Amino acid sequence: MPSKLIIWGASGHARVVADIIRVAGAYEIAGFLDDQHPENAGKSFEGSTILGGRECLRAQRERGVTHLIVAFGHCAGRLDAALFAVSQGLTLATAIHPSAVIASSAHIGIGTVIAANAVVNPHASIGQSVIINTSASIDHDCVIQDGVHIAPGVRASGRVWVGEASWIGVGATIVDGRTIGHRTIIGAGAVVVDDIPSDVVAYGVPARVIRRNE
Query: What is the pLDDT tens value at each position of the chain, 214 positions in all?
Result: 789 999 999 999 999 999 999 999 989 999 999 999 999 999 999 999 999 999 999 999 999 999 999 999 999 999 999 999 999 999 999 999 999 999 999 999 999 999 999 999 999 999 999 999 999 999 999 999 999 999 999 999 999 999 999 999 999 999 999 999 999 999 999 999 999 999 999 999 999 999 999 8
Picking from 182, 181, 193, 156, the residue whose alpha carbon sits closest to that of residue 171 is: 156
Q: What is the pTM of this model?
A: 0.95
The pLDDT assigned to 214 comes to 85
Picking from 143, 142, 196, the residue whose alpha carbon sits closest to that of residue 169 is: 196
Catalytic residue among 37, 123, 140, 149: 140
Active site residue 123: no
Residue 106 and residue 98 in contact, taking contact as beta carbons nearer than 8 Å: no
- Full set of structural domains in the chain with CATH: 3-93 (3.40.50.20), 96-212 (2.160.10.10)
* Angle of CA points 42, 47, 49, to nearest 5°: 15
Picking from 157, 149, 83, 140, the residue whose alpha carbon sits closest to that of residue 114 is: 149
> What is the DSSP annotation of 101-162?
EE-TT-EE-TT-EE-TT-EE-TT-EE-TT-EE-TT-EE-TT-EE-TT-EE-TT-EE-TT-EE
Helix and strand counts by DSSP (H, E) for the chain = 3, 25
Cα 58 to Cα 24: distance, rounded to the nearest angstrom:
26
Residue 210 and residue 203 in contact, taking contact as beta carbons nearer than 8 Å: yes
Picking from 145, 146, 106, 142, the residue whose alpha carbon sits closest to that of residue 129 is: 146
Cα 181 to Cα 203: distance, rounded to the nearest angstrom:
14
